[in-house]
């Protein structure tokens, strides 16, 4: 469904809420609230400037928008009564920056959101946002990780500073938010160690389980639970997770396809990253299990190759099509999308109508993007 009962199209509504999130981020970075300890640390101002530049790069703001829509639906407030939700969205986006920065270090990525990753910025003294950083890989990585951690702390500071709601809502929201980000962190660990141990022989279910932790919790569940809890909603956690977990899996499966088949301009990062990293995905697992002979040897040679070429990428794309892996992942996307839609129907008395309509359209958007 792409049109709400109020008459707004999904894209129009989404883009409007997205602009609210971006305005709230600009206001935050321009406010004194973002500048705590700015005069006590030699690096604080430049670190904050780096976080601001990274956070304000072009982005979809999916998580911030979901947080606001959940708060609006469960609180019954109109677009003008969303101060708490906007602060929560800022916290969500700062946490997003933290997770992306650390993920880029883990994956040794070169670009993010159309710009250089922080470890690449800090490894180049001529372009560094923080001046004087020595051109040493380890130090550049550690500076990037610490900047990411600070972004996460800033997000938690924003969230825990929300006032005026009463009833312990902020405390419960902080607890729930931390719970979901903890799950995400464990998903990151699984992702990292699976890759290091060449776990393409693992059962598909183990990769899907990692997707639930790393993607579903962080992309869908965390912002929905944050908005709902701040709004004072109770007894909604089970229903939210029933929708969020399969929706997040479908989101990640689409990401896996985009990571290989999309062009860099649309994703903001190189389409060779997943190949170079030796990223363990359902897509690659299926291909390795169904390729034979010379095709399997070619795929194994390309997987984890340090400097894959455009020709290597074209070869892998052809193999993923020939083995039926691309089509298989497309079928899984439809399967998990249907599961999330069924959860919305089962819980129709829990989700307000406007939120159900938003989530139905969001589901469609997440699935078809780049397809």
Alpha-carbon gap, residue 222 to 64, rounded angstroms: 10
pLDDT at 310: 82
Domain count, the chain: 1
Would you say residue 57 lies in a domain? yes
pLDDT tens digits for 113-124? 889 999 988 876
* CATH code: domain of residue 47: 1.10.600.10
pLDDT at 271: 61
Would you say residue 151 lies in a domain? yes
Would you say residue 3 lies in a domain? no
For residue 92, give its domain range: 10-368
Would you say residue 51 lies in a domain? yes
pLDDT at 11: 84
Would you say residue 1 lies in a domain? no
CB 326 within 8 A of CB 261: yes
pLDDT at 165: 84
Would you say residue 311 lies in a domain? yes
pTM of the model: 0.87
Would you say residue 266 lies in a domain? yes
> Could you tell me which of 157, 160, 174 has the C-alpha nearest to residue 222?
174
pLDDT at 125: 45
pLDDT at 126: 39
Beta-bridge mates of residue 111: 116
Ranges under pLDDT 50 in the chain: 1, 3-7, 125-129, 131-135, 197
Would you say residue 5 lies in a domain? no
pLDDT at 127: 45
């Amino acid at each position: 469904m792409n049109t709400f009962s109020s008459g707004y199209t999904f894209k129009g509504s989404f883009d409007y809420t997205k602009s609210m999130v971006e305005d709230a981020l600009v206001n935050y970075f321009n406010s004194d609230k973002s500048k705590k300890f700015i005069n006590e640390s030699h690096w604080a101002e430049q670190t904050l400037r780096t976080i601001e530049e990274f956070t304000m790069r072009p982005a979809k703001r999916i998580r911030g928008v979901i947080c606001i829509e959940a708060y609006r639906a469960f609180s019954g407030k109109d677009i003008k009564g969303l101060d708490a939700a906007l602060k929560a969205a800022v916290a969500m986006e700062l946490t997003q920056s933290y997770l992306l920065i650390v993920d880029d270090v883990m994956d040794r990525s070169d670009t993010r959101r159309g710009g250089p990753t922080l470890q690449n910025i800090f490894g180049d003294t001529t372009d560094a946002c923080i001046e004087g950083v020595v051109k040493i890989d380890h130090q550049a990585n550690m500076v990037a990780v610490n900047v990411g951690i600070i972004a996460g702390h800033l997000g938690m500071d924003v969230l825990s500073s929300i006032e005026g709601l009463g009833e312990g809502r902020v405390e419960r929201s902080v607890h729930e938010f931390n719970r979901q980000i903890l799950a995400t962190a464990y998903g990151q660990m699984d992702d990292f160690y699976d890759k290091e141990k060449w776990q393409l022989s693992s059962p598909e279910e183990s990769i899907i389980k990692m997707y639930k932790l790393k993607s579903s919790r962080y992309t869908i569940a965390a912002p929905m639970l944050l908005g709902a809890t701040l709004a004072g909603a109770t007894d909604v956690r089970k229903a939210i997770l029933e929708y969020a977990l399969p929706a997040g899996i479908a989101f990640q499966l689409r990401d896996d396809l985009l990571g290989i088949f999309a062009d860099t301009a649309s994703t903001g990062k190189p389409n060779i990253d997943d190949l170079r990293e030796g990223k363990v995905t359902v897509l690659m697992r299926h291909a390795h299990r169904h390729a034979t002979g010379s095709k399997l040897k070619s795929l194994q040679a390309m997987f984890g190759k340090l400097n894959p070429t455009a020709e290597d990428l074209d070869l892998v794309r052809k193999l993923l099509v020939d083995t039926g892996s691309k089509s298989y992942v497309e079928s899984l996307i439809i399967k998990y999308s249907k599961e999330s839609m069924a959860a919305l129907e089962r819980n129709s008395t829990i989700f307000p109508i406007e939120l159900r309509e938003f989530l139905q359209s969001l589901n469609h958007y997440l699935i078809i993007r780049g397809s």
